[in-house]
Amino acid sequence: MQPVRLELLQRMPIFGAIRDDALLFLLAQAREVSIAAGAYFFREGEPAQSMFVLESGSVAVFKSWQGHDFTLQQLQAGDCFGEMALMDLCPRSASVRAEVECVAIELGAGDLLRLFERDAEQFALIQMNMGREVCRRLRATDEVLFHTLMT
């Protein structure tokens, strides 16, 4: 299973240019999480300590407002979510619900801390990659907001 998971991480922007040994180190610490269809990986406002890499299934990312859920995006196998938790340590900004049965790799803040202690350079690259991914999402959100305001 590790070679398949290693390949999955290597295809993700967050783990771009990360050496195999560093990814294998992270995978050795990671937890496999299985979530039933309709169950939540996490809910908006909950404490955040980890990110998830979706191995199989699909999820809906949404925010609730005045008793209604508004979908922000749908994610598929190979996507990740919750990485903001590893950067800002704030409560979850949205909820993530499994649309079908899902399996994910969970990486926690402690896992990254152990990577930092082992290989600060690889840790720094992951942090930079996460920053780029969050910036990419912010740019996309800015565009949506701008078009909404202009119409």
The domain that holds 27 is classified in CATH as 2.60.120.10
Residue pair 92/42 in contact (Cβ under 8 Å)? The answer is yes
Query: Would you state the pLDDT for residue 29?
Result: 94
Helices (H), 11-119: 20-29, 85-88, 109-118
Q: Can you give the residue range of the structural domain that contains 101?
A: 2-150
Q: What total of structural domains would you count in the chain?
A: 1
Residue pair 58/75 in contact (Cβ under 8 Å)? The answer is yes
Query: Would you state the pLDDT for residue 86?
Result: 86
Query: Would you state the pLDDT for residue 1?
Result: 65
Question: Which portions of the chain are predicted below pLDDT 50?
Answer: none
